[in-house]
Structures are given as C-alpha cells and as structure tokens.
Amino acid sequence: MTTSSNPGMVHAGSLLRPYWKLVLCGLVLGLIGGASVASLLAVVNSGLYAGSGDVGSLVASFAGLCVLIVIGSVGSDISANVVGQRIIASLRKSLAAKILMAPIDQLESYRAHRLIPVLTKDVDAISDFAFYFPAFLVSGVIVAGCLVYLAVLSWPLFLIVAALIALGSFAHFRARQRGLSGFNLARRYEDDLQKHYRTIAEGAKELRLHRPRRHHVHVDLIQRTIERISDVQISAINLLVTTRALGTVMLFLVIGAALVLRPLLWPDSPSSVSSGFVLVLLFMRGPIDQLIGMLPSLGRAQVAMRRIAELSERFATAEQDLLDEPAQSAGERVGSIELRGVSYAFQAAAGDNPFVLGPIDLRITCGEIIFIVGENGSGKTTLIKLLLGLYVPHEGMVLRDGVPVVSDTRDDYRQLFTTVFSDYYLFDTLLQPGSQAPEIAQRYLDRLELAHKVSVENGAFSTTDLSTGQRKRLALINAWIEGRPVLVFDEWAADQDPAFRHVFYTELLADLKRLGKTIIVISHDDRYFHCADRIVRLRDGRVDEAAAFVNVAIAGRGGVTPAVEGVSEPLCN
C-alpha cells in the first residue's frame, strides 16, 4: 500500500515531522545500543574459548559495551518517550482545534457518538503504542544487530536464518492483515456501542417506563454489540498470538537446523560458530517476542490513526483563522443583512430526496423584529443557520451592508449575532469584558425572575441546576449581556409558562428593540405574531410570499428609540 493511498500513514508522517531530529537521535542511540548488545554476545561467545591471558581485554570490552548498552537504550527510550508524548499532546490539540474549526454541517453529520470515540479511544490507542514504542524500537535494533553478528559468524547459516525469518515475517504479515481487518470491524462496532451507551444515559427515563424497549436496547443492541466486539477481538488477537507461538517455535527450529546441518554441510567450521549462533538465536527470542507481542497494539494504533486522519480530512475548512487571538471588538454595528438567491441542500439519506432550502431572497434591516414561522420541517432553523453564517450557501450569497460575506469575513460577520437555539448550550461563565458585567447580569436575573435561585459569583452563574424553562432564561441573560446587535431566538418561548411567554413577546422583545437590537425569532406562537414588525413564512424550504405581511400595529412603535440600560449608542450603521 502506498503512503498516498493511506491517510493514516500520511498523518503519522506529518505528526512525526516536527520531531525528526529527536527521532533520528533516538534511532542512532538505539542502533548503538543494539549493536552493543550484539557485540557483547560476540564477546561472551569468544570469552567461552579465551585463554587466561585474554581476561583483561575481555573485561574492558565487556565493561565498555555495557556502558554503551545503557547509554544507547536509555537514550533511545528517552527520545522515543519524549517524541511519543509530544505527538499525543499535539494530536489532542490538533483534534480539538479541528473540531472548533470544523464546518458546522460536517460536524452535525459526523454525530457525537462517532466523534467522542475518536477523541478518547483512538487517541488512547496511539498513546498506548507511543508508550511501548521505545521498547519496540530498541528490540528492532537489537534483532538487526544480532542478524549482523550472525552474518559475521557464518554467511551460509545466516542465509538459512534469514530465509526462515523472511518466511515467518510473511506469515506474520498475512496474519496481521487479517488481524487489522478484525480491529477495523471492532472499531466500527465500538461506534455503535457508543451510540447505545448514549441511548441508555440520555433515554434513561423513557427506558425505565417501557419494558419491551428496555429489553430491546439491553439485549438486541448493547449485549449483541458487546458480544460482536468481543468475538471479533478474540479472533483477531488469537490469530496474532498463534503466529507469535509459531514464530517462537520457528526460532528453535532454526537453532536445531543450525546444529544438525553444521557438521554435515560445514564440518570444518569452528565450534565457536555453533555456540555463537545458539547464543544469539536464544538471545534474539526476547526482542523478537517483544516485537511480535506489540503487533496487536500496533494494529490498533494503525486503525486509530486512519480514523483520526479521516476525521481531519473531513473537518478541513476554508476558515483557517478561526482560532486566532480575538481582536478587541469595537462594538459591532450593522445596517442590513441580506440573503440573495441563497439555497442549501442537505445530503440525502439513501433512497430519499434531500431537503432543499431556497432559493431565498430576504433583507433584514437594523432594528427590525422579524418572526420566521412555518410548519415543522419547513426549513426555519436551516434558514437561520445560513443567516448566521454557520452554513455556507450552496448557491447565492449573504451580504452584510451590501458587501458579500466570504470565508475571510465570515467569522467577523458571525460576531454580530447572539443566539439561543432550540438545542442551545448553556455556558455557565460570563465572558463579557468590563467590570459592569456582574451588575448587568444581576439586573437581568431580577428581570427574568431568577434572582432568588441564581447569583453571579466570580464571573459565573452560581448554579445551572434549574428547570428547563429557567435554564433558557439564563441563556437569554447570556445573550442579553453580550451586547451584540442581532439577537436570534429559535423557539425560545416554547418552554416558558404562559405568563412569562407573554412577558417575552410583549415586553422583553420591545425592550430589546428599544436597545437598538435587530431581533429574529423563530416561533410557532401565533397568538403573538402581532409582536413582529414583519413575518416571513416558510413552506417546504421556500418563502411563502402570499403569506408574508408586515405587522402595522407594531410598525407604529418601530424605529430605534434612544438606547437604555447600558447601551449608549444605537447599533445600526
């Protein structure tokens, strides 16, 4: 397999590249250590036949080689350990960065149950291998050194050994290939298992109430997947350990062959050749065992590396500067946002027609309250994601104040918005610069009737253990104090009690409008549609022009009135 067709190898290469000096240094030291071990064996072998006059030089060589072995093996261990740990650290950092920068639609389609095992299991598999890698490296070098010594002792015997080792390696190679496909399959089942684990954790309440479903999840999903993983791993590892045992037996066969064949084929060769061979081959058993014993770990690391490379490839983005140090914001303003001929199509599931949004033309001007309404699945959230610059339109463009938003400016554009999605994530810290933030937050906590439950301590909410509706109010407070010019609420009021829902539509939206905010609300609350300046109704991914209307009642109180509550200037251009 060429490296270009193997993204795992390419990725491993790019991870190693920054540390090539240390890797080289480790290899050289490993070579010194391995060669010294082989030389020590030669010294021991010649010591067996030495006279009393050779003792001094033998002791000196012995001691010198021991020192070299220590320096070589400790040095190569340390450098390989440092490289291994550094690679794991940079892998973890780069994966976190990839996720932070990934195109949102790619992230959504990858799904959390597949993402988390890559971040945990696959990185751990590589970490395990990195931990044992120094021993692997040193063993490899020792085996190579021993082979060189065998060649020095006797070419014909070396060739027999080399032929048998080549045969053994080929058998291992084939076994490893089968083992690898087993590890690949097991890894796919592990993604399924992760999904089932999420089901039992997140669906605990539903499963407690539904015996047949609980049984199905327990037996047909969890137990079956666990059994499959176990079966596949058992056969993959069994195959590898069997070839390992055969490899050991083969080594003894080589020793036997050397002893039997020598007097027949090479009767004149000295007996020190035979004893040297036996000594080296017996010694080689340890490092060879270590090399073979690491093959399952290497196999898993290879599968993991391929997964990580696939993820990295998939999450590649045109917006490479997303993780740059944020510049001090001077208070973003916007006059208008426009979608011009925008359309977006999801990837279709097999045999299904994809949902297509658009083409849509929509212009939102500063200070408007605009409601986006329509049936379930009509495309409201998708439209919002396009408007927020989270999805890149497949056709058409988004314009800020008449200027197209492109990949270089998209992240600046996104900073105009604060959103509370229907599947929002509640951050418990307030990242608002300035010492005013806690006081402002406290004021909003009072306003949203949360002050008796939550306070602001050290820039964080004292608790987020609240009811669903109360947590959404906290999310609104976060949105409020961020001070951005455009606020987007995706069915925010759906979890609120009737009294507070009324407050949201009739008071809070009006307050925010008075602060100069542009407000976009996805809503099914037709009782409050009159609170909008304008309503955009979606039907099957298109704007239903016939249903669009302007709410004159509120238009009367529209326009940007002088700012209150901490906003000193209007946010419109």
Residue 349 DSSP symbol: P
Specify which residues 360 forms β-bridges with: 342
- 379 makes contact with ligand ATP (CB under 6 A): yes
- In the shown chain, the binding pattern of residues 49 to 88 toward ligand ATP, with x for contact by CB under 6 A and - for none, equals ----------------------------------------
CB atoms within 10 A of CB 439: 12
CB closer to ligand ATP, 108 vs 482: 108
Residue 536 DSSP symbol: E
Q: Give the containing element (helix H, strand E) for 173.
A: helix 155-202
CB closer to ligand ATP, 266 vs 346: 346
Shortest CB 239 distance to ligand ATP, Å: 40
- 478 makes contact with ligand ATP (CB under 6 A): no
CB closer to ligand ATP, 109 vs 271: 109
CA nearest neighbour of 491 among 505, 478, 481: 505
SS3 534: strand
Total binding residues toward ligand ATP, as defined by CB under 6 A: 12
Written as one letter, the residue type at 538 is L
Residue 78 DSSP symbol: H
Distance of alpha carbon 286 from its chain centroid, rounded?
Answer: 37
CB closer to ligand ATP, 382 vs 418: 382
CB closer to ligand ATP, 385 vs 447: 385
Backbone angles phi, psi at 238, to 5 degrees: -55, -45
Indicate which single residue of 2, 4, 52, 376 sits in contact with ligand ATP (rule: CB under 6 A). 376
CB closer to ligand ATP, 6 vs 422: 422
CB closer to ligand ATP, 340 vs 539: 539
Q: Show contacts with ligand ATP in window 307-346 (CB under 6 A).
A: 346
Gap between the Cα atoms of 533 and 560, Å rounded: 13
**Tokens at residue 270, please?**
């000295």
Gap between the Cα atoms of 295 and 179, Å rounded: 9
Indicate which single residue of 127, 378, 470, 478 sits in contact with ligand ATP (rule: CB under 6 A). 378
SS3 2: coil
- 108 makes contact with ligand ATP (CB under 6 A): yes
Written as one letter, the residue type at 387 is L
Taking contact as CB under 6 A, which single stretch among the options 46-54, 69-77, 379-387, 427-435 is the one that binds ligand ATP? 379-387
Indicate which single residue of 355, 409, 466, 502 sits in contact with ligand ATP (rule: CB under 6 A). 355
- 110 makes contact with ligand ATP (CB under 6 A): no
Task: Specify whether the CB–CB gap between 149 and 272 falls below 8 A.
Answer: no
- 111 makes contact with ligand ATP (CB under 6 A): no
- 470 makes contact with ligand ATP (CB under 6 A): no
CB closer to ligand ATP, 104 vs 241: 104
Distance of alpha carbon 513 from its chain centroid, rounded?
Answer: 40
Shortest CB 105 distance to ligand ATP, Å: 7
Task: Specify whether the CB–CB gap between 548 and 536 falls below 8 A.
Answer: yes
CB closer to ligand ATP, 5 vs 376: 376
- 374 makes contact with ligand ATP (CB under 6 A): yes
**Tokens at residue 26, please?**
């480790």
Shortest CB 540 distance to ligand ATP, Å: 9
CA nearest neighbour of 356 among 338, 388, 340, 379: 379
Backbone angles phi, psi at 350, to 5 degrees: -55, 130
Indicate which single residue of 45, 73, 194, 382 sits in contact with ligand ATP (rule: CB under 6 A). 382
Backbone angles phi, psi at 112, to 5 degrees: -60, -35
Shortest CB 108 distance to ligand ATP, Å: 5
- 472 makes contact with ligand ATP (CB under 6 A): no
CB closer to ligand ATP, 103 vs 293: 103
Shortest CB 506 distance to ligand ATP, Å: 22
The backbone region for 463, taken as left when phi is positive above 0, alpha when psi lies in -120 to 50, beta otherwise, is beta
Shortest CB 381 distance to ligand ATP, Å: 3
- In sign, the C-alpha dihedral spanning 259, 265, 267, 271 is negative
Count, residues in the chain: 573
Q: Which residues bind ligand ATP (CB under 6 A)?
A: 108-109, 346, 355, 374, 376-382
